[in-house]
């Protein structure tokens, strides 16, 4: 599990990759929340995320709540098909901003 980052149009793009399960979630939570601290506008590009379990969804939920609390905006994009299915059966597609492409996600958080 790795968390890379870059800036695009003044927005922080975070790119987690690998397997997000109950074994890797704790470190990921630490890394992700540290990145969100000073960045109100964030895109999570999940193209490199191969796997997520409920432990991983828990971290994404905490992140989304934290961003909302600080009146920031967060959008997720480029989910692999299996990851999208996990979001779907969790009901996460209706509580998070999930976009197909990074461009779309950037336009959602840039406003």
In the complex, the residues that contact another protein under the rule CB under 8 A are 19, 21-23, 51, 53-55, 57-58, 61, 64-65, 68, 81-82, 85-86, 89-91, 95-96
User: What CA–CA distance (Å, rounded) separates 73 from 63?
Assistant: 11
Q: Which is nearer to another protein, 23 or 107 (CB)?
A: 23
Q: Which residue has the tokens 């059966």?
A: 89
Residues in the chain: 111
- Burial (0-12, 13-18, 19+ Cβ within 10 Å), 40: middle
Give the shortest CB-68-to-another protein separation in angstroms: 6
Q: Which is nearer to another protein, 14 or 96 (CB)?
A: 96
Q: Which is nearer to another protein, 5 or 17 (CB)?
A: 17
Tokens linked to 91: 């009901």
Give the shortest CB-105-to-another protein separation in angstroms: 17
Give the shortest CB-84-to-another protein separation in angstroms: 11
- State the CB neighbour count (10 A cutoff) for residue 25: 22
Give the shortest CB-107-to-another protein separation in angstroms: 21
**Nearest alpha carbon to residue 44 among 85, 6, 88:** 6
């Amino acid at each position: 599990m790795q968390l890379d980052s870059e800036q695009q149009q003044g927005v922080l793009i975070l790119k987690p990759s690998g397997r997000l399960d109950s074994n890797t979630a704790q470190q990921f939570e630490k890394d992700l929340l540290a990145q969100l601290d000073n960045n109100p506008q964030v895109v999570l590009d999940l193209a490199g995320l191969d796997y997520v379990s409920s432990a991983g969804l828990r971290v994404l939920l905490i992140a989304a709540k934290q961003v909302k609390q600080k009146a920031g905006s967060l959008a997720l994009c480029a989910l692999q098909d299996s990851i999208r299915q996990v979001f779907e059966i969790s009901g996460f597609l209706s509580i998070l901003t999930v976009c197909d492409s990074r461009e779309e996600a950037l336009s959602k958080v840039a406003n």
